[in-house]
Amino acid sequence: MASTKKISLVDIYFIFLLASGFTNHVVLMPLLLLTAKRDAWLGVLLATILHMIWVYVYFAIIKRTRRQPLRIWFKERLGGAGSGLLLAAAFIFCFAMAVITLRETTTWIKATYLPQTPKVVVLLVLILLCVYIASNGLRSIAVMSGILLPFVWLLGHFVGLANLGYKNYSLLTPLFVDGVMPMLKSMVIAGGGLMEMVVLIFIQHHFSQQPSYLSLAGLAALLGGLALGPLIGAIANFGPEVASHSRYAAFDQWKLVTLSKYINHLDFLALYQWLAGAVIRIALFLFIISDMMPFKRRRRRLTLLLLMGAALAVLLLDNRVDRIVESYVLGEYFLIPISFLALLTLSIALTTVFKPAARGD
């Protein structure tokens, strides 16, 4: 029975292209543009190349664990206290990611499509949907990702091609007008998003097979491309100065799409792209949290998911928490450089924990 619950690597990669693609496509872009302007695209490119090398760390850890649940490995090697500390850190990270994603999504929907709809309605609909998907397991998330991703991919290429007439790629240069530091900062920001791939380690016991290093490097390249494509498009469409003041630069590119005199205002299609990534991302992090708990009965997992959903609603309905998320979590205190350093530290810590297992390989 256990084998029937395993997920293919293609399914896993589909999930991550939507979940982590949301960060690279939405959350990172305004920070990259504000920090580095036209130098940001080079920072993302270099960060992607370096991350394609770094993913060997994830490959080695997954290989050494032989795709067993990390909760068991942690307890065997670190004892109750040590394993509890690492699992608590993973819990906080996953919950924080769910908070950020849900906050960004509800704020954007309220600002663009449903300004008269009460915030609580938008929140509850999204939370209940994500809790339901997460409660049905990783396979449910994988099936939804397989359906949603092809259309997200097609729409992304459509908006890029439709706006070719507005793009001026000479705006991507000259580089380093303000020195090399802005570009280096953009590498750290991009690294904070790309290194979310470490989350693969927490669901590796659901893999049907061992991923190769090349497949992980390919996934890293695709995630980098999801950040680089719309970033270059924003600079080429609006210029680095105007783009750096846009809160939703990827969405603003949809406003330029005009197919004919009678076919325009196609920016509603961005809603599909955004919600596809946000729902899969939140559901994935909620699932990981429930999966880390030693619950065997589905009813207990569902109870935990409902409690986390209630916590998300309470937090995001509090205006004080909302302001904290806006000014700190989505500002420099989160992605420059705390997120990057936290994920880097977690990767190194996991490598240390699993080092002794290499002798038995």
**127 has pLDDT over 90:** yes
Q: Per-residue pLDDT tens for 295-304?
A: 777 888 899 9
Residue with tokens 């496509």: 25
Distances (CA, A) of 182 to 32, 209, 303: 9, 41, 46
C-alpha span between 33 and 241 (Å, rounded): 8
Question: Between the ranges 12-21, 244-253, 288-297, where is the mean pLDDT highest?
Answer: 12-21
Count of domains for the chain: 1
Report the CATH number at residue 59.
1.20.1740.10
Residue that wins the pLDDT comparison between 192 and 263? 192
Q: Which domain holds residue 233?
A: 3-356
Give the dihedral of Cα atoms 58, 64, 65, 66; nearest 10 deg. 110
List the one residue out of 342, 326, 345, 284 whose CA is nearest residue 138.
284
C-alpha span between 29 and 56 (Å, rounded): 26
* Per-residue DSSP letter, 257: -
Give a yes or no: residue 361 inside a domain. no
**189 has pLDDT over 80:** yes
> Peptide bond before 174: cis, by omega within 30 degrees of 0?
yes
**63 has pLDDT over 70:** yes
The DSSP code sequence of 172-194 is G-S--TT-SHHHHHHHHHHHHHH
3-state secondary structure 84-104: HHHHHHHHHHHHHHHHHHHHH
Letter string b/e over residues 284-318, b meaning 16 or more CB atoms within 10 A of that residue's CB: bbbbbbbbbeeeeeeeebbebbeebbeebbebbee
State the pLDDT at residue 335: 56
Q: Per-residue pLDDT tens for 205-217?
A: 899 888 999 999 9
pTM: 0.90
Give a yes or no: residue 184 inside a domain. yes
Give a yes or no: residue 202 inside a domain. yes
Q: Is the dihedral of CA 299, 300, 301, 304 positive or negative?
A: positive
C-alpha span between 133 and 146 (Å, rounded): 14
β-partners of residue 207 are 7
**2 has pLDDT over 60:** no
Residue 239 zone, left/alpha/beta (φ > 0; ψ -120 to 50; rest): left
β-partners of residue 7 are 207
Mean pLDDT of 352-360: 55
Give a yes or no: residue 261 inside a domain. yes
Give a yes or no: residue 65 inside a domain. yes
Give a yes or no: residue 258 inside a domain. yes
Instruction: Sort 15 into a burial class: Cβ within 10 Å, 0-12 / 13-18 / 19+.
Output: buried
C-alpha span between 213 and 206 (Å, rounded): 18
C-alpha span between 45 and 231 (Å, rounded): 11
Residue with tokens 């049907």: 208
State the pLDDT at residue 327: 67
Q: Do the Cβ atoms of 15 and 280 come closer than 8 Å? A: yes
